[in-house]
A and B are shown apart, each in its own frame.
Chain A
C-alpha cells in the first residue's frame, strides 16, 4: 500500500487551521458577549482579569505585576470561567440516565464544529511551485470541498437538536424536559424555513457546494447574495436566531419559566460543553450567512489585488490573509449583531414563536422559492 505520510499531514493542515481558529475565537466571542451586555446596560462588563498589571494573568500565576494600570482587563475572564468550571464537582442527578446525560453535551458540541468542515474560510493560498511537478501548489483554506456542502451543514446542524433533547430527557427534571421538547420543536420548525431559503440559494447559485457559491460571489460586491436575494437574507437571519436558541427565540433555556431549560441539571465541564457548543453554533451560523449572502471571504478589491500579486509568495499570502480577515469580520459581525439584538428584544411567547415560524417564515420562504424559480427560468 502506498502510504504517504506527507499527504496525510498535508490534508491535516487545513483541519488544524480551521478548528484551532474556531476554538480560539470562542473565548473572544464570550468576552464580546459579556462586554456588549455590560455596555448596553450602562455597565462596564468584566474588566479585572487581564494580562499584565493588577489582577492580571501574570500576577495570578507568578505574582508579576508588570504595569501599574490594568491592560486589556477582562480579556482573560473566559479563561477564568473555564478554570472555575473545571474546578466544579461533576455532578449527575440521582435518577438521571447516566449514559445519555454524559453523551448529550458531546452531541451538542460536535455538530457545530463539524459544520465548519465545508466552509471555505479564506481564498486559496498560492504556495508557488514547491513540488517536483513545477506547477504552483494551492493550499485550500477549507477542510473538505463537498459538492453537497450546504446539505452537509443543514444535516449536521439539525443533529445538535439531539444533544439538547437528550440532555433535557436524561436529566429527569421537568424543566429540563420541557426545555428539550421546546428545543426540538423550535429547531424543526425553523429548519423548514431555513431549508427553503437554502433551496433558493442553491437555485440561485446553481450549485450545492459552498466553494462554488463563494466563487460566484467573488466577482464583485454586487454579486453578493444579500443584494440578489434580500428577502432570503432577512428570513435566513431570523431563522438563524431561532436555530441558535438566541434571544428573542431562546425558549429552550428561558430562565423566567424553565430555570435553565435543558441544561438546568448540568454543571462543571458538561455545562461548559453545552455552552461552548452554543457559541460555536453561533459562529457557524455567522460563517454560513457570510458564505451564502455576504460573499464569504471575498472583499472589495480582491480581483485587483489578486492580479497584482501574481505569483509572488508574500503578496499572495497577504491577499489570502486579507480574505481570512474579511471572512472573520463578516462572521464576528453577525455574532455582534446577535449580541446587540439579544439585549434589545424581549423573548417571544411559545405560541408566538410557533406562529411566526409557521405562519410567517414558511409562507414567505415559499414565496421566495417561487420568485427565485421564476428568476432562474427567466
Chain B
C-alpha cells in the first residue's frame, strides 16, 4: 500500500465529520479506492492456499500401517488410558478408588479384592477395573490422583469402534495397552518432564 495519500493542493483529504481513522490507517487515495491492487493481492493469497499441500490425514483404512500417515501427538497429549505394572509384573494398581473419586465424568469403575498374603506391599488388588471411554473427558485427573503411579494417559487418539461395549476398557486391555506402548514400567508422573520413555519420541513436525 502506498504512503499517506495526499489530496489536491498537497493537503490531507478531509474525512467526513465524525469519522476517525484508526492508528496506522490512512485515508484511501483515488487509486486505492478502486481496490484493484487489494483484490489482486487477495486473489494471489487464496491461490497460494489453493495449491498448498494439505496437512489433512486421509483416514481411508490405511492410516494404521502407512508410515506417512503416522501422527504422534505432542508431549503431554492426553489420549486413552493404560495401566502400569511393577517390577514383578503385577498390576501396580492397589484399588484405592482415588482415580474413580477424582474422575469428574465418573467413568472409572473398580471392584477390589484382597491381595494374596505373599504380597507384602499392598492390601488390595483390583478385581475389576473398567473405564468407559465414551464418558471419559480426557482430563487426566485420574493420573494425577493415583498415589502409586498406576494409571496414565497414552498418546493414542484414533481408536474407534462400531459397538459401545467395545469402548468400555477392562483391566486386561488396559494392561496390554501399556505393554504395547512399552510404557508399562515407565515412571513418569502426569506431565512429561523429560523422563525418557514417558511419551514416545516425536517423529513428525507437529
Contact = CB atoms under 8 A, between A and B. Distances in A.
Contact of A340 (B47, B56, B58): B47
Interface string B44-55: 011101111011
Nearest to B51: A39
Interface string A337-348: 000110111000
B139 interface: no
B49 A40 contact: yes
B60 A69 contact: yes
A343 B45 CA distance: 11
Interface in A72-103: none
B56 A44 contact: yes
A344 B43 contact: yes
A41 interface: yes
A36 B47 CA distance: 10
A44 B47 CA distance: 15
A25 to B, nearest CB: 21
A128 to B, nearest CB: 45
B49 A54 contact: no
B60 A43 contact: no
A39 B49 contact: yes
Contact of A70 (B43, B47, B60): B60
The residue among B46, B49, B56, B61 with the most chain A CB atoms within 10 A of its own CB is B46
Interface string B94-120: 000000000000000000000000000
B54 A344 contact: no
A238 B84 CA distance: 66
Interface residues of B, number: 16
The A interface is mostly helix, strand or loop, or mixed, namely loop
Interface in B36-95: 39, 42-43, 45-47, 49-52, 54-56, 58, 60-61
Interface string A56-76: 000000000000011000000
A132 interface: no
B58 A47 contact: yes
Number of chain A interface residues as a range: 10 to 19
Contacts of B52: 42
A171 to B, nearest CB: 34
A52 B50 CA distance: 26
A343 B46 CA distance: 7
A157 to B, nearest CB: 25
B168 to A, nearest CB: 28
Interface string A27-59: 000000000100111111001000000100000
Given A54-B61, A340-B43, A344-B42, A44 B54 contact: yes
A42 B48 CA distance: 10
Contact of B54 (A42, A70, A340, A341): A42
A40 B50 contact: yes
A44 B58 CA distance: 9
Given A36-B50, A40-B49, A42-B52, A345 B42 contact: yes
B56 to A, nearest CB: 5
A54 B60 contact: yes
Contacts of B50: 36, 39-40, 340
A348 B45 CA distance: 20
Contacts of A344: 39, 42-43, 45-46
A341 B42 CA distance: 9
B71 to A, nearest CB: 16
A340 B46 contact: yes
Interface string A304-342: 000000000000000000000000000000000000110
Contacts of A41: 49
B16 to A, nearest CB: 15
A341 B43 contact: yes
Contacts of B55: 42
Nearest to B35: A345
Contacts of A44: 54, 56, 58
Contacts of B51: 39
A39 B45 CA distance: 12
A40 B61 contact: no
Given A54-B61, A345-B39, A43 B56 contact: yes
A341 B35 CA distance: 14
B189 to A, nearest CB: 37
A39 B54 contact: yes
A54 B54 CA distance: 21
B27 to A, nearest CB: 17
Which 8 residue pairs spanning A and B have beta carbons closest together?
A: A344-B46, A344-B42, A39-B50, A40-B46, A44-B56, A40-B50, A44-B54, A40-B49
Given A36-B50, A340-B43, 15 more contacts: A39-B50, A39-B51, A39-B54, A40-B46, A40-B49, A42-B52, A42-B54, A43-B56, A44-B54, A47-B58, A340-B46, A343-B46, A344-B45, A345-B39, A345-B42
Interface of B: 39, 42-43, 45-47, 49-52, 54-56, 58, 60-61
Interface of A: 36, 39-44, 47, 54, 69-70, 340-341, 343-345
17 contacts: A39-B50, A40-B46, A40-B50, A42-B49, A42-B54, A43-B56, A44-B56, A44-B58, A47-B58, A54-B61, A340-B43, A340-B47, A341-B43, A344-B39, A344-B46, A345-B39, A345-B42
